[in-house]
Structure 1
Amino acid sequence: MGDHFQTIVDLDATAAEAPRLVERTDRSFGHHLPGPHWDRAVDPADVDREPSDGLTVHTGRTSFHGGHGEPEWVRCPRCTTTTRRYADEYDRIDTAWEPYGTAMDRWHTSGAADVTCPAWATSVPLPDRTWAHDHFAFAHLGLGKL
């Protein structure tokens, strides 16, 4: 038996817009527990189970991630060059991945970070990248698990 969750991220909301977009959020708790009609929003096969989590509204600069594990690859949005995390099942390519870790740190502190595309040597904003299985999203507004 397992548990899964989804995160919904507004990639277009700016830092200034995000608080206004969630004005109805209960600021005293910062999250919402499942409501009385939660069963209407889930697969009928799951109705016999009680909900275990609620919803948190995240505003401000946030790196949203897909949960467990690491993304297998990241892709340049301009030329579709793919940088792989693993050469094979067990061999991580850390040197190819280092610029992304550095850029993530910069994005957290400043809100802006670029990574140079390995194919055409031009900087591309980190949030514009496509991650395997949507593993990362960099934004100012998102809904996720408590």
Structure 2
Amino acid sequence: MSDSSGLQPDAELVRSEFNAPDDEVLYRHVHPTHWVFDDGAGGYRLSTAFMMIETGDDGLSSYAETLLKERSVAPEDILPGAEYGLASITSGDARGQACDVVFSPDKVLPINFAHMLICLSSADLSRNQRRKLSKALCEFLTILKPPHVADRS
């Protein structure tokens, strides 16, 4: 994230609230460890662990497209490094899988003015239920940029 990307922290520009409509695009950066080779498919795919919400977690970090656009920030600007990929899901697709989508800005990172969390709507899901949820959420993801992975040897 460069200084010219519009990511300067500015308390005046951070909204106090944002209710994401169902068509809101949420962007997530994809670490290369979540891009796994699937022998059965003969290619790479996103690990379902990418969308796993563990017990005790706040939720899955994402960034709202509307809020990024307000600051003229490109979705690629959320990537912490060149090796990361970019994926998206809509708020409605997350909600359709019984998740909540919550505005969660902070001043820790300049990009966090657009920070959203995809959260469990029920805290009492079993591990198996959370795995099924993760798989279901992954089916709604769009891969916009695959992460860079080392060649398979």
TM range (shorter): under 0.3
The TM-score normalised by the length of structure 1 is 0.24
Q: Which has the higher contact order (CA 8 A, sep 6+)?
A: 1
Question: Which protein is bigger by CA-based radius of gyration?
Answer: 1
More helix per residue: 2
TM-score w.r.t. structure 2 length?
0.23
